Chains A and B, each alone.
Chain A
């Protein structure tokens, strides 16, 4: 496991109502799991709850934001809390560029057809990491 002191914070929009929120959540999970010791996951819920540890994590590391849908809530949370992201990814752009279909996937659980969704997760993760 890498234990380098330099870490990147990752904030997914963390929504619940749309399938894309689940994809963002999965992408954040993959980013952290694949890079042990290098990533600090920041919860949007904790930021909106003004949890000191979450605010410190978002402010103490270069912050990458993944926005899922049009309101771009992750970015708006940062704006509202006075946090400047190092980079931002908008999942709709990734999906469009990859010409990927989300048909048949459910927000509650990315299923077996979810190989497509898993690919999206990886595309999001790869795109995000490529911005570093």
Chain B
């Protein structure tokens, strides 16, 4: 039986790339399905909510980071989790050619090209050889 996927976005606020990462995590979670994937929540992990501890300690963790601070990585490591892969929102958007100028810093719809591109990358990793 394959391990569950934990999609864990950084959850920054007022940052366009963090907003993209959050919405992309929702979309990737939809695409992968509840039966296979969980959404990791940094505040809950910090608060030692058991479910979230199990996500990062037992699941294949895909971290979605929006800036060099790597907050999600920092927290997951502190809580004894192991990171399987990191999706850097800025790098993905640069690679696929989605411009970041003018992205809203609060909210984007799930069909926004930036959201779709990052979600596709999360799903690609989840469906890879270790996913």
Contact = CB atoms under 8 A, between A and B. Distances in A.
A41 interface: yes
A44 to B, nearest CB: 5
B114 interface: no
A25 B22 CA distance: 12
A84 interface: no
Interface residues of B, number: 34
A44 B47 CA distance: 11
A120 interface: no
Interface residues on chain A, size class: 20 to 34
A76 B46 contact: yes
B72 A14 contact: no
A17 B39 contact: yes
Contacts of B30: 108
A46 B74 CA distance: 10
Given A14-B11, A48-B75, A108 B41 contact: no
A77 interface: yes
A74 B12 CA distance: 14
Contacts of B23: 108
Interface of A: 12-17, 21, 25, 28-29, 32, 41, 43-46, 48-51, 71-74, 76-77, 80, 107-109
